[in-house]
Amino acid sequence: MLHIAVCFVQLLRAGCKEEFAYVITQTLGGVTRTICNGVLVNQWFAAGENPTLTSHSAFAFACRDDGEPGTGAFVYLDTIGGMQSHRLATPVSTGWDRVAPPAYNGGLADPAPSPAAAVGALVDRNWGGTLPSNIMFSEDPRNAAVGARYYRVSVTAATSAGAPTGARSYLGGGLRWTKAVSTPLRTEVVPEVLGPFSLGGHDSLYEIPYDTEANWGAGQHHAYLDTTDPRWSDPATRRVITIEIFDAAGQRLRPAGTTPVDPGNAGVAKPFFFRRWRVPTGLVDNVPPAALTHMFWWDNRPLTAELLGFTVNGNVSTAKCLFLTFPGGAQFGVRYTASHPNAMFKHSHDITWIRGRNVPVEGGALETRNPTNVTIETTSATDSFANLLGSITAPDSSGVPRTAQRDRCAFAVTLYLQGKMTDGSSAPPYVSQTGAVALLIG
């Protein structure tokens, strides 16, 4: 959903004129963000001017446009959460239910060009949680030439070659959208059940909510894929997700010229295309098979961060309350682990410290954006007591300001670990642990 606010300045003095600035907010995944703020950047337009507004926000997202009737009959995966599907590293389709052998990061979000480029970067992201997904149905498949009325989404384990293996499972939870129904005197928001239905020997069918049939509310999704479902939650196995469409009688439809899905239920050939969104802008590829299949790789296992103790000159102290007294040159460090079960899905960890009361904040770091997956207890980089305690300026007995080494203070030390997991909208997950220690030079 896109919201545009117009701010204007009205100057009534002679020789003055009206000017307009635009502030644009957008809601995706339940989060509203400002993606363009003309007031903030002092971008004003005359009353009769046709402005061109450009957003450089990483969160900006084009609103859905299913195309006017007569612009072509097509279906493709549009978004996963607030993420456009071209950011999914899915191999090309090689059959109605399979894809080509994946690269090392096949099925992940925001693929890196190589494993080395992924270290410490927010790329090669594992999917997790519930993925609210939208399918782009153009308006033309509903016409008599195609007659598309229902869709179905299935999940199957994939082999290393991208082929399906084992049982196929279908998304079957209840789904309803809301729509606005209006008369000349009133508008009412009402629910519409989209499925699941059983027709023509097929189960788990959902009605296609065409935009020209109702005033559908914003922010509604065609499928909710719960990646924690025990039927398909194994993080070591990638999955292939297949989208099929059906007519009002429950007959499977396939694009004209494609090979039937299976000999026992060949389906009906119709003039439409399945497509795959591969690049941010430009052509959306036609998919030759009789259904639309993408690969996903999710991993919901948690991050683990443990602040195990503090070290001085390599010696570990694990007592609950620590008051450490050492010379100023003594080296202080942290004993810790920070990991994800799959090192690919760890972004980085930081170890920071704050000295004393945090007004004003006085602090630093022992580790900064370290991408190493620390599964075995290890010691952080260290710093001396003297550097950590710093200096203090205070008047001497005669009132003259003097700077001297601070000899004691309390510290809060925090281990912060960030992962990469995404549901298409939410920020990457993180965990943290904080410990307290007092240092004294003596």
390 belongs to a structural domain: yes
71 pLDDT higher than 80: no
Identify the bridge partners of residue 437 per DSSP, sorted by sequence position: 411
Q: 141 with 279, same domain?
A: yes
Q: Which residues, other chains included, contact 150 with Cβ-Cβ below 8 Å and sequence gap of 6+?
A: 195, 197, 199, 205, 206, 207, 208, 245, 246, 247, 248, 250
Cα–Cα distance, 345 to 348 (Å, whole number): 9
Mean pLDDT of 394-420: 89
Write out pLDDT tens, residues 331-370.
999 999 999 999 999 999 999 999 998 788 899 999 999 9
32 pLDDT higher than 90: no
52 belongs to a structural domain: no
Q: Where are the alpha helices (DSSP H) in 106-161?
A: 115-118
23 pLDDT higher than 70: yes
326 pLDDT higher than 70: yes
Between 83 and 392, name the one with better pLDDT. Answer: 83
122 pLDDT higher than 60: yes
Number of separate domains in the chain = 3
Q: 128 with 179, same domain?
A: yes
Nearest to 28 by CA among 64, 52, 54: 64
Q: 261, 296, 331: which is the final residue of a domain?
A: 296
Q: 46, 64, 82: which is the final residue of a domain?
A: 46
Amino acid 79 reads T
385 belongs to a structural domain: yes
What 8-state DSSP symbol labels residue 139? Answer: S
Supply the pLDDT for residue 39: 79
Cα–Cα distance, 244 to 291 (Å, whole number): 5
- Give the range with max mean pLDDT: 16-30, 222-236, 251-265: 222-236
13 pLDDT higher than 70: no
Q: 243, 262, 296: which is the final residue of a domain?
A: 296
Range of the domain at 416: 304-441
19-33, 182-196, 269-283, range with the lowest pLDDT:
19-33
Q: Contact at 8 Å (CB) between 420 and 122?
A: yes
Helix or strand holding residue 385 (H, E): helix 385-389
65 belongs to a structural domain: no
Amino acid 373 reads N
249 pLDDT higher than 60: yes
Amino acid 76 reads Y
58 belongs to a structural domain: no
Mean pLDDT of 266-275: 90
Between 72 and 29, name the one with better pLDDT. Answer: 72
Mean pLDDT of 269-276: 95
Supply the pLDDT for residue 30: 47
**Could you write out the three-class secondary structure of 151-203?**
EEEEEEEECCCCCEEEEEEECCCCEEEEEEEECCCCEEEEEEEEECEEECCEE
Q: 138 with 253, same domain?
A: yes
Q: 320 with 435, same domain?
A: yes
Cα–Cα distance, 186 to 260 (Å, whole number): 48
Question: Is the whole-model pTM more than 0.85?
Answer: no
Supply the pLDDT for residue 340: 98
21 belongs to a structural domain: yes
51 belongs to a structural domain: no
Supply the pLDDT for residue 36: 81
Mean pLDDT of 312-332: 93
Q: 234 with 383, same domain?
A: no
CATH number where 389 lies: 2.60.40
Q: 389 with 257, same domain?
A: no
Q: Contact at 8 Å (CB) between 191 and 178?
A: yes
Tell how many helices (H) and how many strands (E) occur in the chain. 2, 35
Q: 316 with 277, same domain?
A: no
Cα–Cα distance, 148 to 142 (Å, whole number): 5
Cα–Cα distance, 382 to 366 (Å, whole number): 6
Q: 279 with 141, same domain?
A: yes
Mean pLDDT of 193-209: 96
Confidence of residue 29 (pLDDT cuts 50, 70, 90): very low
Q: Which residues, other chains included, contact 397 with Cβ-Cβ below 8 Å and sequence gap of 6+?
A: none
Identify the bridge partners of residue 175 per DSSP, sorted by sequence position: 195
**What value, to the nearest 5°, has the Cα angle with vertex 294 and ends 290 and 298?**
155
Amino acid 43 reads Q
Supply the pLDDT for residue 148: 97
64 belongs to a structural domain: no
Nearest to 301 by CA among 423, 102, 126: 126
Average confidence score pLDDT of the chain: 89
104 pLDDT higher than 80: yes
Q: 38 with 89, same domain?
A: no
Q: What are the tokens at 12? A: 């009534």
Nearest to 250 by CA among 309, 216, 211, 202: 202
| Burial (CB count <10 Å: 0-12, 13-18, 19+), residue 288 | middle
Q: 131 with 266, same domain?
A: yes
Supply the pLDDT for residue 1: 46
Mean pLDDT of 4-24: 63
| Rg of the chain, C-alpha, whole Å | 29
Q: 323 with 289, same domain?
A: no
Q: 359 with 217, same domain?
A: no
Q: What are the tokens at 5? A: 């606010």
HSE-CB of 306 using CA atoms within 13 angstroms: 16
